[in-house]
Amino acid sequence: MTPPAQTLADRIEALLPQTQCTKCGFHGCRPYAEAMARGEAACNRCPPGGAEGIRRLSALLGTAALPLDTNCGNEQPRAVARIDESLCIGCTLCTQACPVDAIAGAPKQMHTVLPDWCTGCDLCVAPCPVDCIDMVPVTGDATGWAAWSQPLADASKARYQSRNARLVREREENDARLAAKAAAKLEALQAESTQSDAEQAAQERKRAIIAAAIERARQKQQAARPRNTENVSPAVQAQIDAAEARRAKAGKIGTSTACEPPDTGNAAPPSSDHKPEQA
Ligand code: SF4
Ligand code: SF4
Ligand code: SF4
């Protein structure tokens, strides 16, 4: 099978160090690559790639090799994060910040950096509330690509993508749990008997809140589904219908929904990218 053609953004991204440090001013290497491909960003904004990285990018793009834009940072030896474990309070803020899952630890327990996975992005340093993370240079005088390598970049990209996939999966699972909880709450509410007008009004208010939350979740889930399904041929429409039927059979329609917590006094907490609701 012929491999899919690479876009310009793909080829640019392949030249970036994949530390995901955001020093270029973009939320990771891929968005920066896309901005360069659109001609909206210069190719001298990546300190981890340094002068060699700029040379590679400008050769691909056919532009002049500008000096590094030091507003984004300086080219310097690569560092690895080190946690002073005697000070760590186990708050997990560093693990939430690390783009490549290079920090091991659990809530209220000591955390430690996996040095072979650490890209030196330093994104874990600022969130630490007890300032117990130091960045320790590990490459002597070597900087930029001389302090990094393509296998390391490839491994970092794989870990970054794996982490993102896990976060999406956790968020979807959490959303599904919240949706199921809201549906169960609505059912229980409808089964409650009411005596006075005041009780009836209170029940109706709660029911409306929960129903609105469920409807918002349904609309959110609907918006997340593929939209390029208009004006398709009958054959493609049949394929879409078959896929929808399989999704429904697998329980992926109407259950895997995002749901904000109903405001009924004892609602579940909101979902989050980093901290799914605990069962
Ligand atoms: S490694 Fe370079 S391109 Fe990637 S996020 Fe950091 S500065 Fe941006
Ligand atoms: S441990 Fe810190 S410096 Fe190392 S990759 Fe993770 S966030 Fe970046
Ligand atoms: S942010 Fe600091 S205190 Fe919190 S777990 Fe990480 S190293 Fe420990």
- For residue 212, the model assigns a pLDDT of 84
Counting from 1 in the atom list of ligand 2, the atom nearest the Cα of 94 is 7
The residue among 86 and 223 whose pLDDT is bigger is: 86
For the Cβ of 83 lying below 6 angstroms from any atom of ligand 3, the answer is yes
All domains of the chain, ordered by start, with CATH? Answer: 8-61 (1.10.15.40), 150-224+231-251 (no CATH)
Is the confidence at residue 50, as pLDDT, over 90?
Answer: yes
- For residue 225, the model assigns a pLDDT of 54
Question: What is the pTM (predicted TM-score) of this model?
Answer: 0.72
Residue type, 53: G
- For residue 231, the model assigns a pLDDT of 55
- For residue 203, the model assigns a pLDDT of 82
Q: Whose CA is nearest to atom 3 of ligand 1?
A: 29
The Cα-based distances of 175 to 4, 57, 132, 213, 272 in angstroms read 34, 41, 34, 12, 9
What gap in Å lies between CA 55 and CA 103, rounded to an integer? 32
Query: What percentage of the chain has pLDDT greater than the value 90?
Result: 56
Tally of CB atoms within 10 A around 191 = 7
Q: Which of 59-73, 76-90, 114-128, 255-269 is least confident?
A: 255-269
CB-count exposure of residue 121 (10 Å: 0-12, 13-18, 19+): buried
For the Cβ of 88 lying below 6 angstroms from any atom of ligand 3, the answer is yes
Helix axes 150-191, 197-224, angle to 10 degrees: 150
What gap in Å lies between CA 12 and CA 147, rounded to an integer? 20
Distance 228 CA to ligand 2 centre (A): 38
For the Cβ of 98 lying below 6 angstroms from any atom of ligand 2, the answer is yes
- For residue 237, the model assigns a pLDDT of 64
Tally of CB atoms within 10 A around 204 = 12
Distance 161 CA to ligand 1 centre (A): 15
**Of 123, 143, 125, 141, which is closest to residue 133 (Cα–Cα)?**
125
Residue type, 76: Q
